[in-house]
Amino acid sequence: NPHLEKMKEDILYHFALGTGTHDFPALFGDVKFVCVGGSPSRMKAFIAYIAEELGLGSPDSDYPNICVGTDRYAMYKVGPVLSVSHGMGIPSISIMLHELIKLLYHAKCSNVTIIRIGTSGGIGLEPGSVVITRQSVDATFKPQFEQVVLGKTVIRSTNLDEQLAKELMQCSKEMNQFNTVIGNTMCTLDFYEGQGRLDGAICLYNEEEKLQYLKEAYDSGVRNIEMESSVFAAMCNLSGVKGK
């Protein structure tokens, strides 16, 4: 964004961080991997796990929330790994990604990989399986993210890094702990009707129609459903950051 260069100070409102109050290169300049997920508690548990795996901490170590000045998101760091919560749904993760990408820019980070980890509804898979997303698709199975900007509809690509998918699959084979597949992830705007559930407050379709829709999704290559992947893929592509 060329407008950032004209700003005396860039305030990342929802992180409670700013270039006038924080030394971004000193705090985040060594970041190479960012893992994002919905819940703050899950991302704190993740950073504790990563710290132990990297030999940079113990299970009883404390990892302070860098965004303690706000209740919107939580952020934790150990070594080159940043762990950030993004809330639920496209609007919430979109706001977080705008500020995260600016944070990495102000910190002068390079060769950063961002990975979204989280729960999702599987299609045709045994419970507990891991899906590595090839591309995010919308509820009509198109690999695109549609957004209205200044009153005009903008269509953005949602393909993700193919080489990274292969590397993650190889890691899974070496670990041999989870059933892992590479497939498309369907991103919906809603948890209930958008995902064909029968237990929402409103449901104007029957179980047969739901199962037919899920079969069509599976036949198109969809293996799981969630609510954040489309804007995640689009923003990683636009900013030149490797994401999965």
Please state the residue numbers annotated as binding site for phosphate.
72, 116-119
Residues at the binding site for substrate are: 195, 197
Closest to 11 measured CA to CA, from 65, 69, 63:
69
Residues at the binding site are: 72, 116-119, 195, 197
Q: Which residues contact 173 (CB under 8 A, 6 or more apart)?
A: 180
CA dihedral 25, 27, 32, 34 (to 10 degrees): -130
Q: How many CB atoms lie within 10 A of CB 89?
A: 18
